Every structure is written in C-alpha cells, then in structure tokens.
A and B are shown apart, each in its own frame.
Chain A
Amino acid sequence: MSRSTSLVSADWVAENINNPKVAIIEVDEDTALYEQGHIEGASTFHWRDDLQDGLIRDLVSKEKFEALLSKSGISNDTTVILYGGNNNWFATYAFWYFKIYGHQDVRLIDGGRKLWELKALPLVKEVPARASTRYVAKERDNSIRAYRDEVIAAIGNLNIVDVRSPAEFSGELAAPAHLPQEGGQVKGHIPTSKNIPWSKAANEDGTFKSDAELKDLYTGAGVDLAKDTIAYCRIGERSAFSWFVLHELLGVTNVKNYDGSWTEYGSLVGVPVAVGA
C-alpha cells in the first residue's frame, strides 16, 4: 500500500501496453467514452452493468466477479491497470472492488483518462481480445467496506469523511452538478462528518497531490488518522477515490468506504441529519 505499488504513470502504461502480464481496463460513468477511443489494449467494465448486482443493491457475487474477470482474460497473477474519466472516480471504485475480492496486483493510472487526453496521447477504437481464464476470487474483504449500522454507530465516535462537494454537504445540491438533482430522500450530511471533498486530493490535471499535501489535507481538517475512518459520498465512487488516497497512498489501514453513501443514509427513517456548512 503505497504510491509505488498502487499507482502508475501514463508513461509507464505507454511502455507496457504489449506486456502480456498487464491488463488495462477503463471504467467510466459514461461508457460511450470507451467507444469513442481508449488506450491501446484496454478493455472496459461498466460500473453498473458489470459491477452492480442489478436485483438487490450490492456488489456482484464472488461467482459473477470471477466470471467477469475470466471472460476478460485476467488471471490471479495479472497486473491490472485501471483508469477512467471523471478524475478516476469509477476507476478507483473498481480498484476498491478488486481489493474487496482480494486481487493481488491492481494499480491506477495517475491522472486517469483526463491526463492522457490533455497530453494528447493516442486513443484507439480496436477492442482487444484476450484469451479467457479461470479466475478465482477470494471471499469479500469487509475490512474496507462500511455498512449503515456501523456508520450510525460512528457518529460522534470515529472519523466520518464526507467527500462530496460543499454544496452537497450543506444540502444545497442533492447530487454532483453534472447529474439531475436526485439522490437521497433528504439533503444534508451525516452529523459529525467532516467535509473534505475528494477534489482537494487531486491536481487540476487529475493527478494526485503529494503524500505530504494529502496528509496535511486530512489532519489539517481535524481527522485523527489513528482512529478508524469511514468515507462516504452519494453512491460510493468518489468516496472510493478518497479511500484510495487514505488507504493506498497514505497507507492508513483502518479506512472503510461506505458505498451505500448518501443515497442510502439520506433515505433511512429516523436517523440524524445535519445541514449547513
């Protein structure tokens, strides 16, 4: 869990496009992006169709995850390289997902699709064909996933980090501003949570800030990193980004992503809600 084991540069990717031990996967909110052009050799996962159960609100089962990776030609010893649009939101969600199911070597492209585009690096339309495998996932690692009851129990006790924009935290907006304004039944935030937007961890080109800047970001906002931390947003993808920063870049082990996030919490009956900055 460090920058060297969890993050690769765009240049590293360009040098490893034909490395058979490497599988590059684009994960987007808007899957049309992949079809418009992607990094050579990259396949794509759809954050909802491939990574959501579809019937109940949950991750896909271990068996479905194994089938997805087997079909995609990924072996247990493959180095999986993830990237995507929206400053890697859904790519970090997929990273967290790979860790939930125990994949050993998964890394993120620093800067994601945006930096690749801003550097005018080549994108292709060819869809790669990798020979299928028999992937074997581990049982879910729930040490990095928070559920609603432990979030409620954490109020006033543990670090709760709301990584949404200030306007969503205060209750002004219900969703990120590129989406129609719908989400939980009510607007606001979990009491005692600290608003540290995911975007503060990233530079304008989408790359992560330095470790020293990142540590200052959390400790400066009053997060005691010795305590357990739960990160949440609206549906759990931006909080996966902040989970990645804390857990992978800063090496803080006691951090969980609450993927139920505000769409769950903001719809619960009888739980406390705070509004305002």
Chain B
Amino acid sequence: MTAALALGDDALVLSHRLGEWAGHAPVLEEEVALANIALDLLGQARILLSLAGDEDELAYLREERAFRNVQLVEQPNGDFAHTIARQLYFSVHQHGLYEQLAAGNGEFAGLAAKAVKEVAYHRDHAEQWTLRLGDGTAESHARMQHGVDALWRYTGELFQPVEGVDVDWQALHSRWLDSLTTVLERATLTVPTGPQTGAWTAGAGRQGIHTEPFGRMVAEMQHLHRSHPGASW
C-alpha cells in the first residue's frame, strides 16, 4: 500500500510534469519523445495506484500532503537542460530499482519486468541528451551543468528505503552514482559534490512534505476532475 503509492506517485507526478512540455518543446520531434515518456509513466502510475485503491480518486481527489512522491519529480521543468537533468537522475534510479524488482518475486515483479524496458529507453533518452548538451556549445554546457547542480540536493531521497519495496537500497545508490559519474564525465560535466539532501528535505516527499511548486501542479492536474466530478467522454 505505502510502496504502491510511493512508486505510483513518482510516476504520476513526473508524467504530469513531462506533459507540461506539450506545445512548448524546442522541436516537434522532442515534444513527441517527451510525451511518449510521459505516457509510459502514466501507464505505470495507473497500475501502481490501482494496487493502492481507486486510481482516479487517488490521482484527482487527494490533497497535496497525501502524495508520497519524491520531491525530485515535482520540480518544475525549467529549461530543456533542467528537464533532462531531472530525467537523468530519475530514470537511472528507476531503471536500477525496476531491474531489482523484476529480478525478485515480490508484489511488483510482474509490472517491473514490463516497465523496465520502457524505463531503459527513458534512461537512454536522458543520457543521449546529457552527452549532447554537456559536450555541445558553451551555452548548452552551462545550462546542463546548472540543471545537474540545481537538482542534486533532491537525489538523496531516491535512496531512502520505502516500506514494502524489497531491494538493496545501498547497492542501488552506489550503482546510480557510478552510472551518473560515467555519463557526466563523458559529457564533460562536473559531478556535483554537495550533500544529496538538505536537512529540510530528508525523506520529505515520502512523508507528504512537498516543495512550493507542487501545490500549483496538483491544482492544475486536479481542477478539471474537481470542477466536473465523474465527467467522461
């Protein structure tokens, strides 16, 4: 229950953020790519939230404080490099997590085995762009480094154990750091050295404490359903 909510909310919230690029992406091809990733995540969220209860009620009728997603995924899109940095941090993590879940025989093994192929593509997409932006022009390099630096303090929460998710969190973290370091160095970027959490962020998203932009996002995500309860087409 706790676990399905945590993983489901991660997917739902990131899906919504990526959906915000529709109509705004720098090129049409990239808009479709981001929308495809958003739809993959939405599919994962639907399965996970259905394990925890009624998917629509959970997505559209919970208050901000009842969401259990990590703070990383609720961070605003920023510029394209900022979004790619968020994708890189999250998709490398999610790939490692789902690989471990798929290899086990717990509640999430089946869904993880299917989703891990989607997530591998999300990861590849983020890595390809990190390499090109980091090792691109002076402008793209600076923007990519800024995105990587700005979101670093939200990455620690990814590796705080979630009750009911039976994986080796320490191994997950060290493999994530190895992968990240390889990609960032190849992209001529600097791996941030600051702490991966501020004292005030520790475990916060998983306990329902969210950052300021999240309230606006939830309001936008829920307003249609709340204005027209039960509407369909």
A, B assembled together:
no
Where the two chains meet, the residues of B that have a C-beta atom closer than 8 Å to any C-beta of A are none
